[in-house]
Structure 1
Amino acid sequence: MELFADTTPKTAENFRAFCTDEKGTGKRGKPLHFKGSCFHDLVPKYAWFGGDITHGDGRGGESIYGGPFENEKFVHNHDEGMLAMNTYRWDSNKSQFMILMKKLHFLNGEHVVFGKVVEGLDLMRSIEKDVEAESGIPSKSVVITDCGQIS
């Protein structure tokens, strides 16, 4: 992943900190990191949805800032391989994110794009074939087993 810290610094820092496990425990008593969390929705050839560290099903999440934080700039398009916040209300960013598996330009101006996948989309496509489910819920768990930051 490459994060767009220059254009979306607060959002990129939130995601980076969840990857490095450096912020301890959140208000709900859950560790503020992605390790061990799952992709709760996986829509093949569309998008993967993850980062719900509190419920694991898309209903929850936390931010490193103590509560939801505001949207930053909408400067990047929702293109294939982009990393965007997954929110259901304006200015309600927490830990949930999505990885786009195709262009979804109708989302431009709705969800903040803050990074991109630079390696691994082919692996994600092969995983999609093995776990797809009609409802969007993966037929097998897709878990983030480890994460961090490469300097």
Structure 2
Amino acid sequence: MAEIKDPENTIIIELKDGPVTIELLPDVAPEHVARIKELAREGAYDGVVFHRVIDGFMAQTGDVKHGQSDGLNIRMAGTGGSDKPDVKAEFSKLPFDRGTLGAARSANPNSANSQFFITFKEAHFLNGQYTVYGRVISGMEHVDKITRGEPPANPDRMISVKVAADA
């Protein structure tokens, strides 16, 4: 387990294989950090599937509107967000390295909402085009075990997402 320097700006995602600790970057992307913490505190991410997992690239999750449903509705996962307004892009010079937390969005740069992704390896082609707002500081081996697919036949879920200060 990594040393948590700022519990208010650290989230812990519980996966089937163990916890993933992510250090958030409020100085770089304050609105995105505020949103993920707000939704985590509401329990909105608990039970949400990883609906798009591309080997050698990233694992995407966070559709709190459709991602907790079972059966046929799971095919809708990835098409929704939350009931909160979209978040404007907060681009920076930070690179998309292995374990980077990025904001998922549509073609509109200002359309991020609740969805996010974690990169399996560096993805510098995303630099400056997607908002970086966190880094995995421990548990990346658990991220590596997330079931692949678009969508996976039997998708993995986030068991829980908590702000470390509340854990």
What is the TM-score normalised by the length of structure 1? 0.82
CA distance in 2, matches of 1:144, 1:132: 14
After superposition, the C-alpha distances for 1:106-150 in whole angstroms (9 at most, x for unaligned) are 11111100001111111222x24xx334xx322322111112111
After superposition, the C-alpha distances for 1:6-50 in whole angstroms (9 at most, x for unaligned) are 1111111111122221xxxxxxxxxx7101111111112210000
Cross-structure match for 1:16? 37
Structure 1 alignment gaps of length 5 or more:
22-31
Residue 36 (str. 1) matches residue 40 (str. 2): no
Cross-structure match for 1:81? 99
Of residues 78, 93, 100, the one that matches 1:58 is 78
Q: What's the C-alpha RMSD, in Å, of the aligned pairs?
A: 1.5
Moved >4 Å (runs of 4+) = none
Larger RCO, structure (CA 8 Å, separation 6 or more): 2
Structure 2 alignment gaps of length 5 or more:
1-21, 68-76
Cross-structure match for 1:29? none
Letter in 2 for 1:68: D
* Count of aligned positions: 134
Cross-structure match for 2:148? 132
Q: Percent identity?
A: 25
Higher strand fraction: Structure 1 or Structure 2?
2
- 8 A contact 1:2–1:117 mirrored in 2: yes
